[in-house]
Structures are given as structure tokens and as C-alpha cells.
Structure 1
Amino acid sequence: MTKQRIDVHTHLIPPFWAEELKSHGGDPSGWGAPDWSPEQLLKFMDDEEIAVSVLSLTAPGIEGWEGAARIDIARRVNDYGAQLMDQRPDRFGYFTTLALPDVDAALSEIERSLDVLHVDGVTLHSNYDGVYLSDPRFDPVWQELDRRSATVFVHPTRPPQLPVLPGAPSPFADYPADTTRCALDLVLKGHRKRFASTKVILSHGGGYLPFAATRFAELGASLAKDRSPEDIMTDIKSFYFDTALVAPSGVPSLIGTVPVGQIVFGTDYPYASEEVSKTFDANLDHSTLLTPDQVGQINTRAAKLIPRLENLM
């Protein structure tokens, strides 16, 4: 099967960010940073027949910086990502990093990133300093993203006040849990209706959201008398879900909950190693629950979220 994939879940590791992170709290998840370079990424992409990788900065992002320093490092990371995209627009895209919870700085960087750097969308972490994305203080950011019909890539970070389980760094189980908490909160707070023009991608198949979707819909409706289970499920289905680290065990819940048209390809490279990423790609390709045509749709679906890529596929 010929594959022309668009990978919405690929991370860049700017050398200056990796070096400065050591003196800004390091990586509290316990995972650490792998070796990375644009050249290594391109080789991996060629091996996996990935046409375009849309780059983003992973957790912990810039949470170790404060005040003006956080704004500055966000701009530097975004300039680095945009430069890679400018050099190889046929191979790289970029989702910009925002200096949240500073809303004014975030709004300024949205304008600069989308209007000047011409990046493909924005990255939001599942929470910022323990504040989840539905918090009213973030409404101006959502309003601006909605006005622009922006593509929003939601990446998990550590749940607030939850210590790392010994022997199991946060990306093992805590990251999918925080994606689930963030997404469910957006649904229950009515965000998916209020900001329906945003195209929101959830990492790692939406965490545990598809598996527990019926539970959330039924129990959510019992708590909120103005919501029906069908209404809540409609909002859950409005997200896009990437395939990073999903197949095969996560596929039944995912395709049992959302249409294949809401699923986009992702790898989580390089934090998911080359070997691991290739294993999950092969698992997706050979899924017994998806037809070759459906896999092909998943591989290229992101072109519908990033219009400039439609001409490349």
C-alpha cells in the first residue's frame, strides 16, 4: 500500500530550548529528551512515507520560564519552527507555542504566528499551571482562535498536583488521563458549541475519552439537566483524534465512537522512539478493523485541517 501520510503529532527539539530547559525545571514528567535533528526527522519520514510532519513543542514546553522570559522563549521557539517550515514547506508544518497563562502575550503571538510567520495552527497544553483550557480567563484566546477557524493541537502535560508514579513517567498513563480531563471539561463547559469553528485535535487518540465516551455522555446528562446524552456525544465527536500510540488496542474504542473522518495520523516522534513509532504505524496499516481505504483516509485527513497541504497530496 502506497502511503502519503500527514503527521500532525511530531515534535521539534530546538537546541537552545533543550539546553535552557536544564536550568528551567527540566522535564518533570521523568521522560527526558531524545536526540533530534531535522535531518534525522526527514530520514524517519522517508522510511515511513510521511509527506509532511507538522511540528510542535512537547510538554513541559515553556512552563519552566516565567514572565517576560516565557514570552521570549515562546517567540524564539516559534521563529525556529517557522524557519524550518519556510525552508521545507513541502515537508514541514508547524503549530505555534503560546506563553499561556499570559493571555495578552498569547493573543499577540497568535497574531504574529498566523499573520506574519504563516504557521499552520497553535499548540495548547491540556493545562497551564493547573488551569484547564475551559477556564474563563482563556476565553479571549478561544474567541480569537474561533474567529480565525484555527486548527488547535491539544497536547497533554502532567495533571496538576499528581506525583509521577515510580517507574512510570507521566507519558505512560498521566498524559492520556490529562487529555481526557481537558477534553471532557471542554465538552461539559459548552466550549465545543461556543467555539465550534475551531478544529481541535486531541493527542494519542483522545486519551481515554473514546473508551469512556458513553459513560461520560450518560453521567454528564444526569448531572446537567439541560444536556442530553446525544448532545454530549455530538460534542465529543466534534474533536479530531490523532493515532499516535493508539493501534491496535485503542482502535476499537476510537472507531466505535467517532467517524473515521475525525481521525488523523500521528506518531509522537521522536519522544516515541523510531522503533516504537514504526511499530505503531505498522499496527495501523495492518489493523483488521480498518479497510485499506479507511487507513488511507486517516493518513491524509489532516489536509482538510491545513488547507495549504491539500495541494501537496
Structure 2
Amino acid sequence: MDRIDVHQHLLPPGYRAALEANGVVAAGGRELPDWSPASAEQVMAGAGIGSAVLSISTPGTTFLSDPAQADQLARSVNDYAAELSAAAPRTFGFFATVPLPDVDAAAAEAVRALDTLHADGVVLLGNARGVYLGEEGQEALFRVLDERSAVAFVHPADLPGPAVPGVLPFAADFLLDTTRAAYLLVRNGIRQRFPNIKFVLSHGGGFVPYASHRMSLGIFTQTGRSPIEVLEELAGFYFDTALSSSAAALPTLLTFAEPGHVLYGSDWPFAPEPAVHYFDAGLAEFPGCDEATRDAIRRTNAAALFPRFGAVPAPVPEPPLLTRLRRRARTRIFRVIARAAGRR
């Protein structure tokens, strides 16, 4: 019972009622699951999760076209989550919902949630009604988060535009949504201008670790920034393991992410309990992880971000020698590419 789960959802009764009243009966192609604090604690006990930072999943408040209604619903959800957290502070924390794409309202609610309700951070959808995180005009919100050194949990949403028949959004589109947001946060200089925000990319960062070198070259082409610096900035995100701790995904994620930046996530209840256990087994059985790395993912990395759940861990050790050598080799290759591109 020592894991800290940074990717677990809640569906308060009032929020579910608002969704259903507006005809929203699914998220990411999956029907809305049942949820209660008691069922959450039961699943947590079975999975060895001691603490969970809860958040509202997609669609957040974006299904409400009236900004005032969206703001009111965000406040209601955050009040509910704050009461739940206050009643069981070592079990539940929460990421506050903010009513994007209304930036001013989102900034105001972030201030209230972080300063008054003592939220553990905020949840930001990859896109809010087609407006992507990291686009121009969101500085007011980022300034609030940067001043408070806040954690910003980036969760995917349905892609703008029609879904492709036969493709479940949570299975493929969500990964692209997170990747687009991460790209813009780096490409548009948000990470540089607001360095105190600790962005957590859900689901292993979407395609970011796998496509990071290609993304770095794209940003270099657009901005002229050193692809080495861009690559380091992409690796500086935090990443959770929700639905991503498989033998296919973990090697890339652990090789790419900065030490201490991989966090445990379950995605319950949108990920059913058997799926939680399946991906937990992937982490436990992956031969590329020693026990210290597993412990760091399960708890100590998150404890550094959320010390109220336990003692702040010791400094993260250096990455393994093979990982360091691979990074140095990539750096040399990118320098050659950048010099060659500059001569064209």
C-alpha cells in the first residue's frame, strides 16, 4: 500500500449528472464507469495504491458552451474533490479542474483551487474545444501556475474533427492529442518562459518518447532552436505509466525521460481493474527495471512532487551507464545534423 497514483479519476455525482443532462454518456469511446470513494479505496487496496491524486477526465467542462456554466461546474467539482481530500488527506489528493478555453476564468479558478482549496495541481486537457494547450494567449494561466510552482497534469481529449470509424479515441487519438500539446508547449517557448511549472504528460507522454527526435527536428526547422536543447526539454517533462507500463513502451520511456520523471498511474476507473493489474504486472516483470527503479516509479518520484503523501526521497541516482552512453551518442549525431542543416 505504498504506491502514489498520479493518474486516477473521479466522477462526482453532480458532475455525472451534468454530463448526462447534456447527452454525454462516454469519454474517449468508453462508457462512463461507475465511481465512488468506497470503490476507489477498494481498488486501491487491491493494487497496492496508498495515495491517489484524483482528476476529472475528458471532456472536463468543455461540453458546456456557456462559459458561466463551465466555470460553475469547475468550482463545484473542485469543492467536492477538496472535501474528499480533506476527509482523507493521506489517501486522496486532487488536480483542480479549470474551465478552459476561457483563459481568464481558468486562471482565476486555478488561484482559488491552489491557494484556498489546497489542490495538488491542475488538470489541463490537451485541447479544449479545439484550442490546444500551448497555443498563444494562455499566458495568464501559465503565469499563475509558474508563480506557484504548480504541477500541471496534461490529460488527452478527443481530437478536433470527426472520429475515424472503427478507431476508439482512447486507444490511438488520445496519444496524438497529448503529443500535440507537448509539441506546442516546447515549440512556443512555454517551458522556457514558465520554468517552474511541472508538466506531467499522461499515458507515457503519448508518442513523445518514441517520436522525440523527429519532433526535435521539426521544432528546429520551425524555430532554429538547437535540436539538442529541444530534445532535453522534451525529456524534462514528467510522464505517468497509465496504460503504458508494457514491455513495448517501458524501454523507450525509461531511456528517454530524465531520472526521477516517471510516475505511477493507473487510469482507474476508465481503465477497468483487470487492466490496472495487467499493466502493474508489466512494470513488476520488466527485466530492464531493478527494484530501486520500480520503487522510484511506484512512489518516491511522486513523493518529490507531492511531499504531503510521504517523506521527500533522497536525490535521484545517475541513470545507468548504458543510458548515459546512448544519450551522448544521440547528442553527437544531432550536432552533426544541425551543422549540416545550417550549411544548406
Distance (Å, rounded) in 1 between the aligned partners of 2:265 and 2:27:
24
Distance (Å, rounded) in 2 between the aligned partners of 1:219 and 1:155:
23
- The code of the aligned residue for 1:22 comes to E
Distance (Å, rounded) in 2 between the aligned partners of 1:168 and 1:136:
30
Mapped pair 1:253 → 2:247: no
- Structure 2 matches for 1:145-294, cutoff 5 A? 145-161=145-161, 163-225=162-224, 227-248=225-246, 249-294=248-293
- The code of the aligned residue for 2:215 comes to F
Deviates more, 1:293-302 or 1:62-71: 62-71
- The code of the aligned residue for 2:148 comes to R
TM-score, normalised relative to structure 1 = 0.95
Residues 260 and 298 of structure 1 are in contact (CA less than 8 Å); yes or no, is this contact kept in structure 2? no
Shift of 1:290: 1.0
Which secondary structure state, in structure 2, belongs to the residue aligned with residue 261 of structure 1? coil
Q: Which runs of 5+ in 2 are unaligned?
A: 314-344
Residues 149 and 197 of structure 1 are in contact (CA less than 8 Å); yes or no, is this contact kept in structure 2? yes
Cα deviations across residues 194-239 of structure 1 (Å, max 9, x unaligned)?
11100110000000100001111233323322x1111101110110
Give the equivalent residue in structure 2 for 1:92.
Answer: 92
Distance (Å, rounded) in 1 between the aligned partners of 2:104 and 2:189:
23
Shift of 1:28: 6.0
Distance (Å, rounded) in 2 between the aligned partners of 1:58 and 1:7:
15
Deviates more, 1:185-194 or 1:91-100: 185-194
Shift of 1:30: 2.4
Q: Which runs of 5+ in 1 are unaligned?
A: none
Give the equivalent residue in structure 1 for 2:117.
Answer: 117
Which secondary structure state, in structure 1, belongs to the residue aligned with residue 33 of structure 2? coil
Give the equivalent residue in structure 1 for 2:76.
Answer: 76
Which secondary structure state, in structure 1, belongs to the residue aligned with residue 178 of structure 2? helix
Distance (Å, rounded) in 1 between the aligned partners of 2:83 and 2:219:
44
Shift of 1:167: 3.1
Q: Report the aligned-residue RMSD.
A: 1.5
Distance (Å, rounded) in 2 between the aligned partners of 1:188 and 1:75:
31
Go from structure 1 to structure 2 and tell me whether the alpha carbon gap of 1:28 and 1:307 turns closer, same or farther (over 3 Å shift): closer
Distance (Å, rounded) in 1 between the aligned partners of 2:139 and 2:209:
26
- Provide the aligned length of Structure 1 versus Structure 2: 309
Distance (Å, rounded) in 1 between the aligned partners of 2:135 and 2:149:
20
- The code of the aligned residue for 1:233 comes to L
Distance (Å, rounded) in 1 between the aligned partners of 2:137 and 2:175:
24
Which secondary structure state, in structure 1, belongs to the residue aligned with residue 30 of structure 2? coil
Residues 260 and 294 of structure 1 are in contact (CA less than 8 Å); yes or no, is this contact kept in structure 2? no
- The code of the aligned residue for 2:155 comes to H
Cα deviations across residues 141-179 of structure 1 (Å, max 9, x unaligned)?
001100110011000001111x22323321110001100
Distance (Å, rounded) in 2 between the aligned partners of 1:293 and 1:59:
33
TM-score, normalised relative to structure 2 = 0.87
Residues 27 and 58 of structure 2 are in contact (CA less than 8 Å); yes or no, is this contact kept in structure 1? no
- The code of the aligned residue for 1:187 comes to V
Go from structure 1 to structure 2 and tell me whether the alpha carbon gap of 1:68 and 1:172 turns closer, same or farther (over 3 Å shift): same
Counting aligned pairs with the same residue, the percent is 40
